[in-house]
Structure 1
Amino acid sequence: MASGISLHIGLNQVDPAAYGGWNGKLNACENDARDMEEIARNVGFDDRRTLLTAEATVDNVTAELRRAARVLTPGDILLLTYSGHGGQVPDRNGPEDEPDRLDETLVLHDREFIDDELYKEFEAFAEGVRISAYFDCCHSESAVRAVRRILTPDAMEEQYQTRDPDRIEVTSRIMPPDEQHAVYDRDRTLYDTIQRNLQPKDTLDLPASVLLISACADNQLAADGWENGLFTGTLKEVWSEGKFTGGHKSFHREILRRMPPNQSPGLFVTGRADDVFLRQRPFTV
């Protein structure tokens, strides 16, 4: 019988000392993590861990991922959820790694966690393990300018709880571009060294099957909220306390259908091909 481990990460702020004085304050990320942990509990994940704000450090996240990799065997599942800021750093792994020459990051409490680091951890999972990830964050700095151009004041109020375009960065889950550049310039040696030392495999070569549903496209922003992020709140509506019975593709489509046009959740599948996993009901142990 399959078993599951779930890890839920939510940061309402980061350590200002690690980010040049920026605290990255958000409202609903800890609630998102707790609510996703509740979903996991209700569907039968007996092994659940939640890391909130100050607990959500690179060392703690990697320790939990490595523990899961040691425990899970073929047929088992890791449910990984993240709510917080997304960021970017220049890609130093090679010209073909990222077409835009930027690596995405999860903005953890003590530093940015580069996507290459995450996929390097995924390499340790056994063939046949399922990894189901839900990320309520955004990445692209270009999205700030785009949203300012295309959203009406009413639309900004509905999605970002502000009519002031200069406050979009405060109410969305993007590390502001100026902060991204300042942190990278200060800690360039750290981030460049991490990337050069990693040499992760191509994601298609991962032995596990990885399925990621993310809050928005790379050129969009993910909205924060008072109770939940817009993506997580919509996911909960579609899940409907377990009444949803379709597979991952239909789950993604229904979330997408309910979201505003300027925040379009993505579905990304990589690693070992597993059509059965894709057709399964979300959160299936």
Structure 2
Amino acid sequence: MPTGLSLHVGLNQVDPDRYGGWDGRLVACENDAHDMARLAHGAGFDDTTLLTSDGTVKNITAELRAAAKALKSGDILLFTYSGHGGQVPNTDGRDEEPDQFDETLVFYDREFLDDELHREFGRFAQGVRILAFLDCCHSGTGTELPGGNEQHARLMPVPKQQEIYQRDKEFFQEIQRDLAAGKSRARGADALLISACQDDQLASDGDVNGEFTGTLLKVWNNGAFRGGYRSFHHDIQRNMPATQIPNLFVTGAPADAFLEQQPFTV
């Protein structure tokens, strides 16, 4: 029988000492992580949850690397993240980022580049099914938020992004250079990712769940949903507001049989 491992990260705030006094307080991210862990557990995954102050780069990468050692071809990893999203300039000369930015997950102690996440996924054996749901802003334009709405969006404020980047520019550029150099010899991850919004949109927080996670849970309907991942994404998308359109994308070449499976099949 295949093995399913899942990791659920939910950050209701970040460490203000690491983010220039900004604590990034949100409401529903820990709830999202708990609810996705319950969903995963019910589907047969062995689930792990990291909340707020435990959501550090060290802890998250340690869990992912332990899963990479444990899972073999035919097994499945489920990764969910609920928190702030941000961006840093892409400086390594690659043309794969049309907006010239790397999107980031705003972990408790620092921003984590999207390519760092893909590098962690690349550690898994070929044939492992990798599934990720990211409930955060991936704002490709870097546009300022309209006044009064910032507290409802899971976006690291643009001025704070710029401040942190200028402070840690050499650190991020070194990571980007290392990632770019490794791409020529590293196997790309075969992964399916469904994110809360498009690159130029914001993801909404909520009183109980984020807009995306809450809609996902309604569509899933305690397992009553029938269809594959593309249908699952479509049904979530059509129940979301036009201002927040979830995105489905793949890296590498996940098997068609995986994409056509009932979601969360171990």
TM-score by length of 2: 0.95
C-alpha distance after superposition, 1:25-45 (max 9, x if no partner):
000000000000000010111
Q: Give 2:253's aligned residue.
A: 272
Q: Give 2:130's aligned residue.
A: 131
Q: Give 1:67's aligned residue.
A: 66
Cα 1:61–1:229, aligned 2, differ >3 Å: closer, same or farther? same
Alpha carbons 2:10, 2:52 under 8 Å: kept? yes
Alpha carbons 1:144, 1:221 under 8 Å: kept? no
Alpha carbons 1:143, 1:220 under 8 Å: kept? no
TM-score by length of 1: 0.89
Displacement of 1:272 in angstroms is 2.8
Q: Distance in 2 between matches of 1:119 and 1:244?
A: 29
Q: Distance in 2 between matches of 1:201 and 1:194?
A: 12
Q: Distance in 2 between matches of 1:274 and 1:141?
A: 29
Alpha carbons 1:141, 1:177 under 8 Å: kept? no
Question: Match of 1:17, SS?
Answer: coil
CA RMSD of aligned residues (A): 1.5
Q: Distance in 2 between matches of 1:91 and 1:251?
A: 32
C-alpha distance after superposition, 1:101-151 (max 9, x if no partner):
110100000000011111111111111000000000012163655xx6xxx
Tell me whether 1:237 sits opposite 2:218 in the alignment: yes
Q: Distance in 2 between matches of 1:144 and 1:10?
A: 25
1:34-183 alignment runs, 5 A limit? 34-45=34-45, 47-140=46-139, 142=141, 144-145=143-144, 165-183=146-164
Which amino acid letter does the alignment assign opposite residue 161 of structure 2? Q
Moved more, 188-197 or 79-88: 188-197
Q: Give 2:227's aligned residue.
A: 246
Displacement of 1:95 in angstroms is 3.1
Which amino acid letter does the alignment assign opposite residue 169 of structure 2? R
Displacement of 1:94 in angstroms is 2.0
Which amino acid letter does the alignment assign opposite residue 129 of structure 2? R
Tell me whether 1:15 sits opposite 2:7 in the alignment: no
Alpha carbons 1:144, 1:168 under 8 Å: kept? no
Tell me whether 1:188 sits opposite 2:166 in the alignment: no
Work out the number of aligned pairs and report it: 264
Q: Give 1:156's aligned residue.
A: none
Which amino acid letter does the alignment assign opposite residue 3 of structure 1? T
Which amino acid letter does the alignment assign opposite residue 21 of structure 1? G
Q: Give 2:5's aligned residue.
A: 5
Q: Distance in 1 between matches of 2:104 and 2:68?
A: 21
Q: What percent of counterpart residues are identical?
A: 58
Q: Distance in 1 between matches of 2:80 and 2:197?
A: 15
Structure 2: which 5+ residue stretches go unaligned?
none
Displacement of 1:205 in angstroms is 4.9
Alpha carbons 2:142, 2:158 under 8 Å: kept? no
The structure whose residues are more often helix, as a share, is 1
Tell me whether 1:24 sits opposite 2:24 in the alignment: yes
Which amino acid letter does the alignment assign opposite residue 127 of structure 2? G
Q: Distance in 2 between matches of 1:205 and 1:179?
A: 34
Cα 1:253–1:209, aligned 2, differ >3 Å: closer, same or farther? same
